[in-house]
Structure 1
């Protein structure tokens, strides 16, 4: 640098490439690093312009530092230094990508022979799919298409492969007959929520067919906001949909948002920023999506998350991309996003007390209206984030209370499940009619907690006495017992 500054002859430039790698930690320089930048600072102030050319215009010999971000150079060199200019080089915008696309796509199989309209469609898909990417990314996608012989008509598949590692659209690989007959399968596990099941299946079908997808920017395949009372099947429906898509209900990514109530909990999702403990580990959400881009992502009890975290969802819902703490871009373009919430079941009264907004027994149409209004009030007034509500759109699915007839179905299903599980162990249990009726009345006496409340009552008044009796009598395969009592609280196991 010192030789360059005083170099005679035509104006000369020194390019310091990968200058971000000159230092280990810009905020704590070593003695050698500090000395180098100090010399550079002194040179920037002592350098003199020299006349050059016929018009004898003043020129400096210039040093160009190429860095990833401005903070890679010590602040004390940049701030208030008139001899240094910060020149940001932005990512290619739509106009730049439009100019570059024909040249990059020229080598893609079939481009030269394709009709003009096919070329135009391919260029449009390429431009939309590479939003936010660098020129090197675009070049890599074109190279990928050429190497893997992806035709120009399917350039979107090459973009998908580059983003998430999947060439074929995985949504097209789902068994359509399974989804076509899904309502009957779901009804075995989620009772009395036909409208919610139909709405969520419509989202899945839209994701599979691509109807109205508006895929510009790589938005998620679908977004659903499941709201309603506790214990009515919101999480169970998400699990069942996952089971239909993947063949395994555990193959979904679930986040309990009550664990993200603190202001800085977003670092758990996307990872700690540089310089902080755990920076190299990455975030729980970004890591999970990188490993399984084709997934159902469930954010349970979203209202309990800190408002700062909700801002992250804006990026996911709008652009389908999230930047991790390490700077990696993670794409949600193949994911189905599901939020669950108990918002709207309670509201704040004028005195500030928490009071029921809806109660069991109300007409479902009234429940829908009241819950939806309370959700809108929460996002627009309480959180001051109406834009999140706009991104979800009409995909707010309100679940009904567990009604009496549905509660009876849930009770029967849970009871049969408990007894059938014992049959698989070779133990037969009979429940006399009086005891079953008494147990049923007890389990259905309070439906405010939905199916979960029924399960709790069955555990307390059936499973616990049953387990106690089987243990005390050393039950073996082949045994036959009768469970009887004057009421549900006095059930006793008798060997037959």
Structure 2
């Protein structure tokens, strides 16, 4: 129990304080037990908490003190005695060599006594080991950022929905469903033996399924590197199960571990994304039943890998063909936007004369025909992503252009994009059957490529403000250097002329 581990550490504290010559606070001991219990799942208490205290105290002493002057002098004396002894042996001065050998044996004992803690030691001068230092060590072991370790879970869960909606637009129902399921899992309201959350994301391509997984990894675990991505199209054969969990003993690749189990074993707090699960062999899907039900999986080397702290996301394009015509256009798609304020008409336009609920039911039926009931029933939530409408596409334009502006700022350019240019991009990049991906390609060809040409032609240069606007014909975008009005300049033109005249006068006087 954690309480017993804390008591054991209290009993060991004086020994580690004397050994490392640091003060170990009560908060550091409690933090070591709590963080090791939560984030270091492949070891046991009190061993893992003791190792945390030991390594943190050692790092603190080295960073604060280094090697003392007395210790340095003794080591230098020892090196000198050894060199003198070897010289005496070469000169056959054996009596002198024997004396130096005794001195050589005595000096290490003096070095050892420097690290011995005595009652007379001034403990108040020792540095204090804090809870934050324990979090630093756990972060180095688990690759989880310190901010995520120390941040209050309740605060992170409270703002989870808002943080996800900043990155994933037009999918409020999906974000809300994911946030609710994650809260249930992290607050202990569901079976503790199962993963924190398990989801199936359905919908057409480019609507934000993978983006939501990335946003969830960054929000819950600190950065997108906490996302373990498994492309299920690589597991279409029966024998591909061994790639997932590792080859059994005696087979090639036995020492390498499984592509899934090894990544989760090294990073137990992560989002695991299984992309396009409908392409995997049924035996591969059967291996996932154990993860969904028991939160664990045994790899090829017989080790049990813990999935209880992971968030499992499975994406699928099942049923997408039901929403798209044979020529790649949605059934019943129209470009005239009359009465756009009416939700039902917008849904009918997007889903080929159907409402969102009717389209979702069609896809759900296809899902149940494809996967076995025992697999579907083990998933926490099955979420159908909406196809993107024009209003959402316009918001996505802003996000993509802001990301591009940040990259351009790194090379010393400021960027301004007119509303006409943004509207043109949103209109030309709007292909609901393909989601936001055509828009990204359009920005590459119409904005990024034109920036490259303008830089090479010296139309714009470092320090300029580049203006992205729609040309007069309305067929493409143009990039030009924006002339700064006088009121936006860092100085008045007259003031600049006066300053230059004063500099000239000073030069003349010096001459």
TM-score range, shorter chain: 0.5 to 0.7
> Are positions 1:392 and 2:379 aligned together?
yes
SS in 1 for 2:433: coil
Alignment of structure 1 residues 451-490 onto 2, 5 Å: 451-473=436-458, 475-484=460-469, 485-487=471-473, 489-490=475-476
SS in 2 for 1:448: helix
| Aligned counterparts of 1:478 and 1:317: Cα–Cα separation in 2 | 54
Change (3 A) 1:159 1:387: farther
Give deviations 1:139-168, integer Å, cap 9, x for gaps.
xxxxx899679xxxxx99999889534769
How far did 1:265 drift? 1.5
| Aligned counterparts of 1:366 and 1:265: Cα–Cα separation in 2 | 37
| Aligned counterparts of 1:340 and 1:220: Cα–Cα separation in 2 | 17
| Aligned counterparts of 1:353 and 1:422: Cα–Cα separation in 2 | 38
How far did 1:314 drift? 0.8
Alignment of structure 1 residues 291-310 onto 2, 5 Å: 291-310=266-285
Alignment of structure 1 residues 133-212 onto 2, 5 Å: 164-165=42-43, 175-211=153-189
| Aligned counterparts of 2:421 and 2:456: Cα–Cα separation in 1 | 21
Greater displacement, 170-179 / 358-367: 170-179
Change (3 A) 1:225 1:189: same
Change (3 A) 1:323 1:148: farther
| Aligned counterparts of 1:458 and 1:467: Cα–Cα separation in 2 | 13
| Aligned counterparts of 2:2 and 2:226: Cα–Cα separation in 1 | 36
Give deviations 1:233-271, integer Å, cap 9, x for gaps.
111111111111111122121111122222222111111
How far did 1:277 drift? 0.6
Q: 1:495 maps to which residue?
A: 481
Alignment of structure 1 residues 101-120 onto 2, 5 Å: none
Alignment of structure 1 residues 416-427 onto 2, 5 Å: 416-427=402-413
Change (3 A) 1:219 1:434: closer
SS in 1 for 2:297: strand
Q: 1:290 maps to which residue?
A: 265
SS in 1 for 2:229: strand
SS in 2 for 1:164: coil
Where structure 1 has 5 or more consecutive residues not aligned to the other structure, the ranges are: 1-107, 112-143, 150-154, 380-384
Give deviations 1:256-298, integer Å, cap 9, x for gaps.
1122222222111111112211112211111112111222211
Alignment of structure 1 residues 44-443 onto 2, 5 Å: 164-165=42-43, 175-211=153-189, 213-215=190-192, 218-346=193-321, 360-361=350-351, 362-379=354-371, 385-393=372-380, 395-432=381-418, 434-443=420-429
Change (3 A) 1:161 1:456: closer
Is the CA contact (8 Å cut-off) linking 1:461 and 1:489 kept in structure 2?
A: no
SS in 2 for 1:250: helix
SS in 1 for 2:167: coil
Q: 2:55 maps to which residue?
A: none
Is the CA contact (8 Å cut-off) linking 1:347 and 1:374 kept in structure 2?
A: no
Change (3 A) 1:267 1:472: farther
| Aligned counterparts of 1:348 and 1:308: Cα–Cα separation in 2 | 29
How far did 1:309 drift? 0.6
Corresponding residue pairs, total:
341
Q: From 448, 453, 457, give the equivalent of 2:433.
A: 448
| Aligned counterparts of 1:492 and 1:156: Cα–Cα separation in 2 | 57
| Aligned counterparts of 1:228 and 1:486: Cα–Cα separation in 2 | 38
Greater displacement, 235-244 / 353-362: 353-362
Change (3 A) 1:158 1:278: same
Give deviations 1:208-229, integer Å, cap 9, x for gaps.
2111x123xx221221111111
| Aligned counterparts of 1:308 and 1:238: Cα–Cα separation in 2 | 25
Higher helix share: 2
SS in 2 for 1:254: strand
SS in 2 for 1:255: strand
| Aligned counterparts of 2:207 and 2:39: Cα–Cα separation in 1 | 39
Where structure 2 has 5 or more consecutive residues not aligned to the other structure, the ranges are: 11-32, 50-147, 334-349, 483-511
How far did 1:400 drift? 0.5
Is the CA contact (8 Å cut-off) linking 2:390 and 2:427 kept in structure 1?
A: no
